A = this chain, B = another copy of it.
Protein backbone atom coordinates (compact mmCIF):
# COMPACT_ATOMS: atom_id res chain seq x y z
CA UNK A 1 0.00 0.00 0.00
CA UNK A 2 1.08 3.53 -0.48
CA UNK A 3 -0.33 6.99 -0.06
CA UNK A 4 -2.70 7.97 -2.82
CA UNK A 5 -1.48 10.47 -5.37
CA UNK A 6 -3.34 13.49 -4.05
CA UNK A 7 -2.16 12.98 -0.48
CA UNK A 8 1.36 12.39 -1.73
CA UNK A 9 1.38 15.51 -3.88
CA UNK A 10 -0.05 17.65 -1.08
CA UNK A 11 2.49 16.29 1.38
CA UNK A 12 5.36 16.94 -1.00
CA UNK A 13 4.48 20.56 -1.64
CA UNK A 14 3.72 21.12 2.03
CA UNK A 15 7.12 19.79 3.08
CA UNK A 16 8.94 21.74 0.37
CA UNK A 17 7.11 24.83 1.53
CA UNK A 18 7.96 24.20 5.17
CA UNK A 19 11.56 23.58 4.18
CA UNK A 20 11.71 26.98 2.53
CA UNK A 21 10.36 28.74 5.59
CA UNK A 22 12.41 26.69 8.01
CA UNK A 23 14.21 28.80 10.59
CA UNK A 24 17.10 28.10 12.91
CA UNK A 25 14.76 26.37 15.37
CA UNK A 26 13.66 24.17 12.47
CA UNK A 27 10.05 25.16 12.81
CA UNK A 28 7.56 24.57 11.22
CA UNK A 29 9.18 21.59 9.50
CA UNK A 30 10.10 19.61 12.61
CA UNK A 31 6.62 20.01 14.05
CA UNK A 32 4.94 18.84 10.87
CA UNK A 33 7.31 15.87 10.46
CA UNK A 34 6.54 14.71 13.99
CA UNK A 35 2.94 14.13 12.91
CA UNK A 36 3.76 12.03 9.83
CA UNK A 37 4.50 8.29 9.99
CA UNK A 38 7.96 7.10 9.02
CA UNK A 39 6.64 4.93 6.17
CA UNK A 40 4.89 7.97 4.68
CA UNK A 41 7.90 10.27 5.07
CA UNK A 42 9.87 7.51 3.36
CA UNK A 43 7.55 7.58 0.39
CA UNK A 44 7.85 11.35 0.02
CA UNK A 45 11.64 11.20 0.29
CA UNK A 46 11.74 8.47 -2.33
CA UNK A 47 10.03 10.84 -4.76
CA UNK A 48 12.42 13.63 -3.88
CA UNK A 49 15.41 11.37 -4.36
CA UNK A 50 14.24 10.08 -7.74
CA UNK A 51 14.10 13.68 -8.90
CA UNK A 52 17.76 14.74 -8.84
CA UNK A 53 16.91 18.39 -8.35
CA UNK A 54 15.17 17.66 -5.08
CA UNK A 55 17.73 15.34 -3.57
CA UNK A 56 18.87 18.20 -1.36
CA UNK A 57 15.33 18.48 0.03
CA UNK A 58 15.42 14.83 1.04
CA UNK A 59 18.75 15.34 2.79
CA UNK A 60 17.48 18.47 4.53
CA UNK A 61 14.41 16.64 5.83
CA UNK A 62 16.47 13.72 7.13
CA UNK A 63 18.70 16.29 8.81
CA UNK A 64 15.78 17.77 10.74
CA UNK A 65 14.76 14.35 12.07
CA UNK A 66 16.45 12.79 15.09
CA UNK A 67 19.08 10.22 14.09
CA UNK A 68 16.83 7.42 15.33
CA UNK A 69 13.88 8.63 13.29
CA UNK A 70 16.07 9.28 10.23
CA UNK A 71 17.42 5.73 10.43
CA UNK A 72 13.87 4.47 10.66
CA UNK A 73 12.73 6.47 7.64
CA UNK A 74 15.78 5.37 5.68
CA UNK A 75 14.78 1.75 6.31
CA UNK A 76 11.60 2.31 4.27
CA UNK A 77 13.52 3.43 1.18
CA UNK A 78 14.58 1.03 -1.59
CA UNK A 79 18.30 0.25 -1.65
CA UNK A 80 19.05 2.51 -4.62
CA UNK A 81 17.54 5.51 -2.87
CA UNK A 82 19.38 4.74 0.37
CA UNK A 83 22.64 4.75 -1.61
CA UNK A 84 21.86 8.16 -3.09
CA UNK A 85 21.28 9.60 0.37
CA UNK A 86 24.36 7.99 1.86
CA UNK A 87 26.42 9.34 -1.04
CA UNK A 88 25.64 12.85 0.18
CA UNK A 89 26.61 12.23 3.82
CA UNK A 90 29.94 12.17 5.64
CA UNK A 91 31.29 8.96 7.17
CA UNK A 92 30.45 10.30 10.62
CA UNK A 93 26.85 10.90 9.66
CA UNK A 94 26.55 7.49 8.02
CA UNK A 95 28.03 5.77 11.09
CA UNK A 96 25.46 7.43 13.32
CA UNK A 97 22.64 6.34 11.04
CA UNK A 98 23.95 2.78 10.77
CA UNK A 99 24.12 2.55 14.54
CA UNK A 100 20.44 3.38 14.87
CA UNK A 101 19.24 1.08 12.08
CA UNK A 102 17.99 -2.45 12.75
CA UNK A 103 20.82 -4.94 12.34
CA UNK A 104 19.19 -6.49 9.25
CA UNK A 105 18.68 -3.17 7.47
CA UNK A 106 22.18 -2.08 8.46
CA UNK A 107 23.65 -5.17 6.80
CA UNK A 108 21.54 -4.64 3.66
CA UNK A 109 22.69 -1.06 3.24
CA UNK A 110 26.28 -2.00 4.04
CA UNK A 111 26.21 -4.58 1.25
CA UNK A 112 25.29 -1.89 -1.26
CA UNK A 113 28.23 0.40 -0.47
CA UNK A 114 31.43 0.26 -2.47
CA UNK A 115 34.52 -1.35 -0.98
CA UNK A 116 36.32 1.89 -0.07
CA UNK A 117 33.37 3.28 1.82
CA UNK A 118 32.85 -0.04 3.58
CA UNK A 119 36.47 -0.17 4.69
CA UNK A 120 36.36 3.43 5.88
CA UNK A 121 33.24 2.78 7.95
CA UNK A 122 34.40 -0.55 9.38
CA UNK A 123 37.65 1.04 10.57
CA UNK A 124 35.70 3.44 12.74
CA UNK A 125 33.44 0.85 14.37
CA UNK A 126 33.90 -0.92 17.68
CA UNK A 127 35.15 -4.50 17.43
CA UNK A 128 31.90 -6.18 18.47
CA UNK A 129 29.80 -4.04 16.19
CA UNK A 130 32.13 -4.65 13.27
CA UNK A 131 32.06 -8.41 13.66
CA UNK A 132 28.28 -8.46 13.97
CA UNK A 133 27.86 -6.36 10.84
CA UNK A 134 30.37 -8.39 8.83
CA UNK A 135 28.64 -11.61 9.81
CA UNK A 136 25.14 -10.41 8.96
CA UNK A 137 26.33 -8.90 5.68
CA UNK A 138 27.93 -12.19 4.68
CA UNK A 139 24.76 -14.27 4.30
CA UNK A 140 23.61 -14.99 0.79
CA UNK A 141 20.69 -12.93 -0.46
CA UNK A 142 17.38 -14.72 -0.34
CA UNK A 143 18.26 -16.83 2.72
CA UNK A 144 17.06 -16.70 6.33
CA UNK A 145 20.46 -15.22 7.26
CA UNK A 146 19.97 -12.26 4.96
CA UNK A 147 16.58 -11.25 6.37
CA UNK A 148 17.13 -11.98 10.05
CA UNK A 149 18.02 -9.47 12.73
CA UNK A 150 20.35 -10.10 15.63
CA UNK A 151 18.39 -7.73 17.87
CA UNK A 152 16.42 -10.29 19.85
CA UNK A 153 16.06 -10.91 23.58
CA UNK A 154 18.22 -13.80 24.75
CA UNK A 155 17.64 -15.20 28.24
CA UNK A 156 20.32 -17.31 29.89
CA UNK A 157 19.19 -20.77 30.89
CA UNK A 158 18.78 -20.90 34.67
CA UNK A 159 17.51 -17.35 35.06
CA UNK A 160 14.43 -16.73 37.19
CA UNK A 161 11.26 -15.20 35.82
CA UNK A 162 11.94 -11.89 37.57
CA UNK A 163 15.51 -11.78 36.24
CA UNK A 164 14.15 -12.45 32.75
CA UNK A 165 11.60 -9.66 33.13
CA UNK A 166 14.38 -7.32 34.19
CA UNK A 167 16.31 -8.28 31.08
CA UNK A 168 13.26 -7.57 28.93
CA UNK A 169 12.97 -4.08 30.43
CA UNK A 170 16.66 -3.41 29.80
CA UNK A 171 16.69 -4.53 26.18
CA UNK A 172 13.28 -3.16 25.27
CA UNK A 173 14.51 -0.10 23.36
CA UNK A 174 16.90 -2.04 21.09
CA UNK A 175 15.23 -5.37 20.41
CA UNK A 176 13.03 -5.82 17.32
CA UNK A 177 10.55 -7.71 19.45
CA UNK A 178 10.44 -8.29 23.19
CA UNK A 179 7.34 -10.44 22.98
CA UNK A 180 9.07 -13.69 22.16
CA UNK A 181 12.08 -14.60 24.28
CA UNK A 182 14.76 -17.17 23.57
CA UNK A 183 16.52 -19.23 26.22
CA UNK A 184 20.15 -20.03 25.38
CA UNK A 185 22.55 -22.36 27.18
CA UNK A 186 26.22 -21.59 27.85
CA UNK A 187 27.21 -22.53 24.29
CA UNK A 188 24.68 -20.18 22.72
CA UNK A 189 22.43 -23.06 21.74
CA UNK A 190 18.70 -22.42 21.70
CA UNK A 191 17.11 -24.64 24.36
CA UNK A 192 13.67 -23.11 24.66
CA UNK A 193 11.36 -20.21 24.01
CA UNK A 194 8.58 -18.41 25.83
CA UNK A 195 6.29 -15.51 25.15
CA UNK A 196 6.35 -12.39 27.26
CA UNK A 197 2.71 -13.21 28.01
CA UNK A 198 3.76 -16.50 29.63
CA UNK A 199 6.51 -14.75 31.54
CA UNK A 200 4.17 -12.10 32.91
CA UNK A 201 1.74 -14.58 34.42
CA UNK A 202 4.46 -16.89 35.81
CA UNK A 203 5.59 -16.97 39.44
CA UNK A 204 8.50 -14.46 39.75
CA UNK A 205 10.74 -17.00 41.48
CA UNK A 206 10.27 -19.77 38.93
CA UNK A 207 13.20 -20.74 36.70
CA UNK A 208 12.63 -19.99 33.02
CA UNK A 209 13.68 -23.51 32.09
CA UNK A 210 10.58 -24.81 33.85
CA UNK A 211 8.09 -22.67 31.95
CA UNK A 212 9.69 -22.46 28.52
CA UNK A 213 8.57 -24.51 25.51
CA UNK A 214 11.42 -26.86 24.66
CA UNK A 215 10.28 -27.95 21.22
CA UNK A 216 11.07 -24.70 19.40
CA UNK A 217 10.11 -24.07 15.78
CA UNK A 218 13.31 -22.79 14.18
CA UNK A 219 15.07 -22.51 10.85
CA UNK A 220 18.62 -22.75 9.50
CA UNK A 221 20.57 -19.72 8.41
CA UNK A 222 20.82 -20.91 4.79
CA UNK A 223 17.13 -21.79 4.29
CA UNK A 224 15.43 -19.97 1.37
CA UNK A 225 13.48 -16.95 2.52
CA UNK A 226 10.17 -18.11 1.00
CA UNK A 227 10.31 -21.21 3.17
CA UNK A 228 10.96 -19.03 6.22
CA UNK A 229 7.93 -16.88 5.39
CA UNK A 230 5.76 -19.99 5.03
CA UNK A 231 6.79 -21.34 8.42
CA UNK A 232 5.97 -17.99 10.03
CA UNK A 233 2.57 -17.98 8.29
CA UNK A 234 1.74 -21.61 9.03
CA UNK A 235 2.46 -21.45 12.74
CA UNK A 236 1.27 -17.84 13.21
CA UNK A 237 4.62 -16.81 14.70
CA UNK A 238 5.69 -13.39 15.89
CA UNK A 239 9.29 -14.30 15.09
CA UNK A 240 11.20 -17.37 13.95
CA UNK A 241 14.62 -18.11 15.50
CA UNK A 242 17.52 -18.81 13.14
CA UNK A 243 20.28 -21.32 13.91
CA UNK A 244 23.74 -21.52 12.34
CA UNK A 245 25.49 -24.71 11.21
CA UNK A 246 26.92 -25.27 14.69
CA UNK A 247 23.46 -25.15 16.28
CA UNK A 248 23.95 -21.71 17.81
CA UNK A 249 21.18 -19.15 17.67
CA UNK A 250 22.18 -16.21 15.46
CA UNK A 251 19.00 -14.18 14.93
CA UNK A 252 15.27 -14.00 14.40
CA UNK A 253 13.07 -13.30 11.40
CA UNK A 254 10.17 -11.12 12.55
CA UNK A 255 6.57 -11.38 11.28
CA UNK A 256 6.74 -8.07 9.43
CA UNK A 257 9.85 -9.08 7.52
CA UNK A 258 8.24 -12.45 6.75
CA UNK A 259 5.23 -10.60 5.35
CA UNK A 260 7.47 -8.47 3.13
CA UNK A 261 9.15 -11.63 1.86
CA UNK A 262 5.75 -13.20 1.15
CA UNK A 263 4.80 -10.17 -0.91
CA UNK A 264 7.99 -10.12 -2.94
CA UNK A 265 7.78 -13.89 -3.46
CA UNK A 266 4.23 -13.49 -4.75
CA UNK A 267 5.48 -10.85 -7.18
CA UNK A 268 8.25 -13.18 -8.29
CA UNK A 269 5.74 -16.00 -8.84
CA UNK A 270 3.42 -13.75 -10.81
CA UNK A 271 6.30 -12.61 -13.02
CA UNK A 272 7.53 -16.15 -13.43
CA UNK A 273 4.05 -17.10 -14.62
CA UNK A 274 4.75 -14.88 -17.62
CA UNK A 275 8.34 -16.11 -18.06
CA UNK A 276 9.84 -12.97 -16.56
CA UNK A 277 12.98 -13.52 -14.49
CA UNK A 278 13.44 -12.19 -10.96
CA UNK A 279 13.76 -8.38 -11.03
CA UNK A 280 16.18 -6.71 -8.63
CA UNK A 281 13.79 -3.85 -7.98
CA UNK A 282 10.23 -2.65 -8.66
CA UNK A 283 9.23 -2.48 -12.32
CA UNK A 284 9.16 1.31 -12.20
CA UNK A 285 12.76 1.52 -10.97
CA UNK A 286 14.62 -1.52 -12.27
CA UNK A 287 17.27 -0.75 -14.90
CA UNK A 288 15.97 -1.06 -18.48
CA UNK A 289 18.83 -3.30 -19.50
CA UNK A 290 17.98 -5.69 -16.69
CA UNK A 291 14.27 -5.63 -17.54
CA UNK A 292 15.17 -6.46 -21.14
CA UNK A 293 17.33 -9.40 -20.13
CA UNK A 294 14.74 -10.79 -17.72
CA UNK A 295 12.10 -10.76 -20.46
CA UNK A 296 14.07 -11.69 -23.57
CA UNK A 297 15.39 -15.14 -22.65
CA UNK A 298 12.13 -17.04 -22.78
CA UNK A 299 10.66 -14.88 -25.53
CA UNK A 300 13.47 -15.90 -27.88
CA UNK A 301 13.40 -19.53 -26.75
CA UNK A 302 9.69 -19.59 -27.47
CA UNK A 303 10.21 -18.12 -30.95
CA UNK A 304 12.06 -21.31 -31.75
CA UNK A 305 9.53 -23.49 -29.93
CA UNK A 306 6.85 -21.84 -32.04
CA UNK A 307 8.56 -23.20 -35.15
CA UNK A 308 6.90 -26.50 -34.33
CA UNK A 309 3.54 -24.87 -34.98
CA UNK A 310 4.93 -23.57 -38.25
CA UNK A 311 6.26 -27.00 -39.16
CA UNK A 312 2.82 -28.46 -38.46
CA UNK A 313 1.24 -25.90 -40.74
CA UNK A 314 3.81 -26.55 -43.47
CA UNK A 315 3.02 -30.25 -43.26
CA UNK A 316 -0.67 -29.53 -43.91
CA UNK A 317 -0.08 -26.85 -46.56
CA UNK A 318 -2.12 -28.76 -49.16
CA UNK A 319 -5.17 -29.05 -46.93
CA UNK A 320 -4.92 -25.36 -46.16
CA UNK A 321 -4.54 -24.40 -49.84
CA UNK A 322 -7.60 -26.48 -50.72
CA UNK A 323 -9.71 -24.99 -47.98
CA UNK A 324 -8.33 -21.55 -47.04
CA UNK A 325 -11.42 -20.90 -44.85
CA UNK A 326 -9.84 -23.19 -42.26
CA UNK A 327 -7.19 -20.56 -41.50
CA UNK A 328 -10.00 -18.31 -40.26
CA UNK A 329 -10.43 -20.55 -37.22
CA UNK A 330 -6.75 -21.19 -36.54
CA UNK A 331 -6.00 -18.34 -34.10
CA UNK A 332 -9.34 -18.91 -32.39
CA UNK A 333 -8.76 -22.63 -31.81
CA UNK A 334 -5.15 -22.52 -30.68
CA UNK A 335 -5.86 -19.36 -28.70
CA UNK A 336 -8.73 -21.03 -26.85
CA UNK A 337 -6.64 -24.12 -26.11
CA UNK A 338 -3.82 -21.91 -24.90
CA UNK A 339 -6.10 -19.96 -22.59
CA UNK A 340 -7.63 -23.09 -21.04
CA UNK A 341 -4.19 -24.70 -20.71
CA UNK A 342 -2.65 -21.62 -19.13
CA UNK A 343 -5.52 -21.61 -16.61
CA UNK A 344 -4.92 -25.25 -15.74
CA UNK A 345 -1.16 -24.73 -15.36
CA UNK A 346 -1.59 -21.64 -13.22
CA UNK A 347 -4.06 -23.39 -10.91
CA UNK A 348 -1.57 -26.21 -10.32
CA UNK A 349 1.52 -24.01 -9.93
CA UNK A 350 -0.18 -21.78 -7.36
CA UNK A 351 -1.74 -24.79 -5.62
CA UNK A 352 1.73 -26.30 -5.26
CA UNK A 353 3.23 -23.02 -4.02
CA UNK A 354 0.63 -22.67 -1.26
CA UNK A 355 0.78 -26.34 -0.34
CA UNK A 356 -2.80 -26.99 -1.44
CA UNK A 357 -1.66 -29.44 -4.12
CA UNK A 358 1.07 -32.05 -3.66
CA UNK A 359 2.71 -34.46 -6.11
CA UNK A 360 0.61 -37.25 -4.59
CA UNK A 361 -2.56 -35.45 -5.75
CA UNK A 362 -1.62 -35.95 -9.37
CA UNK A 363 -4.20 -38.59 -10.28
CA UNK A 364 -6.98 -36.85 -8.39
CA UNK A 365 -6.19 -33.59 -10.17
CA UNK A 366 -6.08 -35.37 -13.52
CA UNK A 367 -9.56 -36.81 -12.98
CA UNK A 368 -10.92 -33.42 -11.98
CA UNK A 369 -9.29 -31.67 -14.92
CA UNK A 370 -10.66 -34.24 -17.36
CA UNK A 371 -14.19 -33.44 -16.25
CA UNK A 372 -13.79 -29.67 -16.08
CA UNK A 373 -11.77 -29.32 -19.30
CA UNK A 374 -14.15 -31.67 -21.13
CA UNK A 375 -17.07 -29.46 -20.11
CA UNK A 376 -15.18 -26.31 -21.04
CA UNK A 377 -14.33 -27.77 -24.46
CA UNK A 378 -17.95 -28.74 -25.10
CA UNK A 379 -19.22 -25.31 -24.10
CA UNK A 380 -16.73 -23.57 -26.35
CA UNK A 381 -17.48 -25.97 -29.22
CA UNK A 382 -21.17 -25.09 -28.95
CA UNK A 383 -20.22 -21.41 -29.02
CA UNK A 384 -18.06 -21.77 -32.13
CA UNK A 385 -20.13 -24.26 -34.18
CA UNK A 386 -22.68 -21.74 -35.57
CA UNK A 387 -19.81 -19.58 -36.78
CA UNK A 388 -18.37 -22.64 -38.50
CA UNK A 389 -21.65 -23.15 -40.38
CA UNK A 390 -21.78 -19.50 -41.39
CA UNK A 391 -18.19 -19.37 -42.62
CA UNK A 392 -17.74 -22.72 -44.32
CA UNK A 393 -20.79 -24.93 -44.08
CA UNK A 394 -21.53 -28.04 -42.08
CA UNK A 395 -18.28 -29.90 -42.67
CA UNK A 396 -16.25 -26.95 -41.41
CA UNK A 397 -18.56 -26.58 -38.44
CA UNK A 398 -18.03 -30.22 -37.49
CA UNK A 399 -14.25 -29.89 -37.94
CA UNK A 400 -14.09 -26.75 -35.83
CA UNK A 401 -16.36 -28.04 -33.06
CA UNK A 402 -14.53 -31.36 -32.77
CA UNK A 403 -11.16 -29.59 -32.85
CA UNK A 404 -12.28 -27.20 -30.13
CA UNK A 405 -13.21 -30.03 -27.75
CA UNK A 406 -10.00 -31.92 -28.49
CA UNK A 407 -7.69 -28.89 -28.30
CA UNK A 408 -9.19 -27.50 -25.09
CA UNK A 409 -9.10 -30.94 -23.48
CA UNK A 410 -5.53 -31.74 -24.56
CA UNK A 411 -4.37 -28.21 -23.88
CA UNK A 412 -5.77 -28.29 -20.36
CA UNK A 413 -4.22 -31.67 -19.65
CA UNK A 414 -0.83 -30.48 -20.92
CA UNK A 415 -1.13 -27.38 -18.75
CA UNK A 416 -2.19 -29.38 -15.73
CA UNK A 417 0.43 -32.11 -16.04
CA UNK A 418 3.46 -29.96 -16.92
CA UNK A 419 3.97 -28.57 -13.38
CA UNK A 420 3.87 -32.10 -11.96
CA UNK A 421 6.39 -33.33 -14.54
CA UNK A 422 8.71 -30.41 -13.79
CA UNK A 423 8.42 -30.98 -10.04
CA UNK A 424 9.20 -34.67 -10.59
CA UNK A 425 12.44 -33.71 -12.35
CA UNK A 426 13.31 -31.20 -9.63
CA UNK A 427 12.62 -28.19 -11.85
CA UNK A 428 10.60 -25.32 -10.36
CA UNK A 429 6.98 -26.05 -11.38
CA UNK A 430 6.49 -22.32 -11.94
CA UNK A 431 8.57 -22.79 -15.11
CA UNK A 432 5.24 -23.97 -16.58
CA UNK A 433 4.46 -20.35 -17.42
CA UNK A 434 1.56 -19.15 -19.56
CA UNK A 435 3.86 -18.38 -22.53
CA UNK A 436 5.48 -21.83 -22.40
CA UNK A 437 2.17 -23.65 -22.04
CA UNK A 438 0.43 -21.69 -24.78
CA UNK A 439 3.36 -22.28 -27.13
CA UNK A 440 3.22 -26.02 -26.52
CA UNK A 441 -0.52 -25.98 -27.06
CA UNK A 442 -0.19 -23.93 -30.26
CA UNK A 443 1.86 -26.73 -31.82
CA UNK A 444 -0.44 -29.48 -30.50
CA UNK A 445 -3.48 -27.52 -31.60
CA UNK A 446 -2.23 -27.13 -35.18
CA UNK A 447 -1.71 -30.89 -35.43
CA UNK A 448 -5.09 -31.75 -33.93
CA UNK A 449 -6.98 -29.22 -36.03
CA UNK A 450 -5.57 -30.14 -39.40
CA UNK A 451 -5.57 -33.88 -38.69
CA UNK A 452 -9.28 -33.71 -37.92
CA UNK A 453 -9.78 -31.49 -40.97
CA UNK A 454 -7.92 -33.92 -43.26
CA UNK A 455 -9.94 -36.88 -42.01
CA UNK A 456 -13.31 -35.19 -42.29
CA UNK A 457 -12.62 -33.48 -45.62
CA UNK A 458 -11.46 -36.82 -47.06
CA UNK A 459 -14.70 -38.48 -45.98
CA UNK A 460 -17.12 -35.93 -47.46
Residues in A lying within 8 Å of B, measured CB to CB: 1-2, 5, 35, 37, 39, 168-169, 172-173, 178-179, 196-197, 200-201, 215, 217, 227, 230-238, 255-256, 258-260, 262-263, 266-267, 269-271, 273-276, 282-285, 288, 291-292, 295-296, 298-300, 302-304, 306-307, 309-311, 313-314, 317, 320-321, 324-325, 327-332, 334-336, 338-340, 342-343, 346-348, 350-351, 354-361, 364-365, 368, 371-372, 375-376, 379-380, 383-384, 387, 391, 408, 434-435, 438-439, 442-443, 446
Contact = CB atoms under 8 A, between A and B. Distances in A.
A273 B430 CA distance: 14
B304 A383 contact: yes
A306 B332 contact: yes
B282 A356 contact: yes
A11 to B, nearest CB: 14
B350 A332 contact: no
A197 B217 contact: no
Given A179-B179, A299-B336, A321-B324, A331 B359 contact: no
9 contacts: A5-B360, A196-B196, A255-B259, A274-B342, A276-B347, A283-B347, A292-B376, A307-B332, A313-B328
B331 A303 contact: no
Contacts of A340: 295, 299
Given A233-B260, A233-B263, 18 more contacts: A37-B235, A169-B200, A179-B197, A238-B255, A262-B266, A269-B270, A271-B347, A273-B346, A282-B357, A284-B356, A298-B339, A300-B383, A309-B331, A327-B330, A330-B330, A338-B435, A338-B438, A342-B434
Contacts of A435: 338-339, 342-343
A325 B310 CA distance: 9
Contacts of A332: 303, 306-307, 309-310
A376 B262 contact: no
A238 to B, nearest CB: 8
B267 A350 contact: yes
A336 B438 contact: no
Contacts of A304: 383
Contact of A267 (B179, B348, B354): B354
Given A37-B217, A230-B1, A327-B327, A168 B299 contact: no
A121 B259 CA distance: 37
A120 to B, nearest CB: 31
B256 A372 contact: no
Contacts of A258: 259
A334 B327 CA distance: 14
A215 B35 contact: yes
Contacts of A227: 1
Contacts of A383: 300, 303-304
A233 B229 CA distance: 13
Given A303-B332, A327-B320, A351-B283, A292 B387 contact: no
A303 B39 contact: no
A187 B84 CA distance: 49
B334 A1 contact: no
A329 B308 CA distance: 10
B288 A356 contact: no
A1 B234 contact: yes
Nearest to A75: B236
A335 B271 contact: no
A327 B355 contact: no
Contacts of A360: 5
A328 B314 contact: yes
A360 B347 CA distance: 33
A274 B434 contact: yes
A331 B346 contact: no
Contact of A368 (B231, B232, B291): B291
A1 B331 contact: no
B348 A299 contact: no
Contacts of A320: 324, 327
Given A283-B351, A302-B336, A343-B274, A288 B35 contact: no
